[in-house]
Amino acid sequence: MMRFETEQNRLIARSGNECVQIEGWGENSLRVRASLNGFSQKDKALAPAAGNAVAKLTEDGARIENGLLRCEMHQSGWLAFYRGDVLLSKEYYRDFSWANGHSPSMKVRAREYRPLRGAEEYELTLRFEAQEGEKFFGMGQYQQPNLNLKGCMLELAQRNSQITVPFCLSSRGYGFLWNCAGIGETVFGENMTRWTCLSGREIDYWITAGETPREILEQYTAVTGRAPAFPVDALGLWQSKLRYRTQDEVLSVAREYHRRGLKLDVIVIDFFHWDYQGDWSFDPRYFPDPAAMTQELKELGVRCMVSVWPTVDRKSVNYEKMRELGLFVRTERGSVQCFDFQGDTVIYDATNPEARKYIWDRVKENYYDKGIELFWLDEAEPEYSAYDFDHYRYHVGPVLKEGNSYPMYHAKAFYDGLKAAGQEAPVSLLRSAWIGSQKYAALVWSGDIQSTFEGLRDQLSGGLNIGLAGIPWWTCDTGGFFGDVTQPHFAELLVRWFEFSAFSPVLRLHGDRGPHDIPNLSDLDHGGGFSPTGRDNELWSYGEEVYAILKKYLAIRLSMREYLHSVMEEASRNGSPVMRTLFYEFPQDSRCWEIDDEYMLGSEYLVAPVLAQGVTRRTVYLPAGEWENIHDGKRYFGGEYLADAPLDVIPVYRLCRRD
């Protein structure tokens, strides 16, 4: 049985060695911590937040309330959460002291601490009852078509194209944050929801209640952070490929866009423009005058972005100094190596403040001071040759315990540096994120994905769910990353993907276009000339029919710049995603909680992308109100329609009036 203590903003309960502490943490929200060995002083992903919670004892336990959210704690130790009289969620309990109609013989409790041999940490497990009909959304980005995550098992780990942001939004009117950076797993099962962490000292979660998804996201981002202002001059086209190998190649592409009268906002210089990984500088043999290059690009109205990897080759000019200073990710056994892609490399430790300063100082000297203001933070998970998470250790602790936070610290290194250098609206492109990455101007992209219609379908769900996890700036490789331009239907795929990307937060054209039959510039095993390049990937690279369609959607995109800017401002103001599920805008419409192949761009545009090969018509559901087809101006009212979608048309409707 639990022993209770109450304070103005806190409820404390003890039984044996376990202590549970519940306190108000933001509006309509509670933070719950449970431990056998006391609590850390870290807020982790949460910013300090006042709460007006009131705790008191009851006949069979205790309760604590903060605004709309009430937590009841039974004498046996399990917790239940309510909004008014509505049960939102309750912990799973099957033990002798309280059975509630279930078998007491299982001896299963909600909170489990499995000791790790010889360590102070435990393998932690938290269980909740499954609620009939409940749907879950958010959790970051996973390569799967499932928008509703009910029935899914999700690894809590960062990988190339997998992004863990462990916050979920429930259709029952609450949001739940697993406030733990450790490697683990979440199972949204039909019989229970289970959260695990492979190594930790305490169970730590945060829960919030709201009348609408918008309220829930606003309360969540109030305590984890919101995206800053997005640069208006980066809302158009980002041109990229694997890879522009020389200064002349970069300038020739930018000049051709200008000659054709096509507005280009950003051009990207991808990896291996350096001599060795970890030099964080241009190879002067292929980029002899970066300052002159960026100056000409600026005169053409184009900003330049460069790829920066966290990997450091043993032959790099920075390796020995960084090794002496202890700025690398450590290995727990064997040789010190993290990644072996085109070099024997280690990884700088972004969780170490000294390491973050070191990399930014090199980047500022070699890039920023030469006119580069945008950085592509590739490999930001970071990527390992093998994802053996128990093999690595960061400044903040073992990867098993702290690993998922790395990309957030990596984004912080560049955000802090850019702000100190005077950038008012910085933005960095990253391949991974964690809770709070949004406040460090992280534009997240979905990693190295396949050029298939299945891959395109996965990106829709991934982009919507990461927005519901608090990361509003998201993009993907338009056309997919791994693609062969000679394959049948590649042009169709590229067009459909470009149409989708034109109505996403950032329009970015990128990919490794095969076949790879272009000779290297150098026979050396290092430097800017030895790594291969893919086929051309500009708007005009795929024939006149494709070019005409891509130009059409670039023009539509540019015409929406002011609107997109207002949507970005809303994300900064209240945490709303840029790409939104239909239920985010129309939560009272039950159909909107079921639809997973349409979305809203901001609050005004409903987008129904074509996600399969050969499709030229598709069903579109419009919530109650009056809508205008942006292509022909025809008006429609709420209901289901069969929309024409020839290759040059993605069905999009502007909301004229809500009912």
- Coil, helix or strand at residue 458: helix
Of the candidates 642, 644, 643, 647, which has an alpha carbon nearest to the alpha carbon of residue 613? 647
Q: Is 51 left (phi over 0), alpha (psi -120 to 50) or beta?
A: beta
Question: What span, in angstroms and rounded, lies between the C-alpha atoms of 126 and 197?
Answer: 9
Bridge partners, 599 (sequence order)? 607
First to last CA, the chain: 52
Question: What span, in angstroms and rounded, lies between the C-alpha atoms of 411 and 408?
Answer: 5
The catalytically annotated residue of 378, 402, 477, 512 is 378
- Beta pairing class for 652-658 and 605-607: antiparallel
Of the candidates 397, 487, 457, which has an alpha carbon nearest to the alpha carbon of residue 201? 397
Task: Give the Cβ contact number of residue 72 at 10 Å.
Answer: 18
Sign of torsion over alpha carbons 110, 116, 120, 123: negative
Question: What span, in angstroms and rounded, lies between the C-alpha atoms of 403 and 396?
Answer: 9
The catalytically annotated residue of 296, 381, 383, 512 is 381
Structure tokens at 162: 């997998």
Q: Is 378 a catalytic residue?
A: yes
Of the candidates 201, 202, 114, 198, which has an alpha carbon nearest to the alpha carbon of residue 400? 198
Question: What span, in angstroms and rounded, lies between the C-alpha atoms of 420 and 352?
Answer: 18
Question: What span, in angstroms and rounded, lies between the C-alpha atoms of 146 and 130?
Answer: 18
- Coil, helix or strand at residue 130: coil
Question: What span, in angstroms and rounded, lies between the C-alpha atoms of 515 and 439?
Answer: 39
The catalytically annotated residue of 5, 256, 390, 448 is 448
- Asked if the bond preceding 472 is cis, omega within 30° of 0, the reply is no
Cβ(395)–Cβ(325) under 8 Å? no
Question: What span, in angstroms and rounded, lies between the C-alpha atoms of 645 and 635?
Answer: 17
Sign of torsion over alpha carbons 563, 565, 568, 572: negative
- Whose structure tokens read 């409790």? 109
- Beta pairing class for 184-188 and 153-156: antiparallel
Q: Is 448 a catalytic residue?
A: yes
Q: Where are the alpha helices (DSSP H) in 318-352?
A: 319-325
CB within 8 Å of 637: residues ≥ 6 apart: 622, 624, 625, 626, 627
Q: Is 381 a catalytic residue?
A: yes
Of the candidates 580, 465, 572, 471, which has an alpha carbon nearest to the alpha carbon of residue 214? 580
Structure tokens at 185: 């797993």
Q: What residues are labeled active site? A: 378, 381, 448
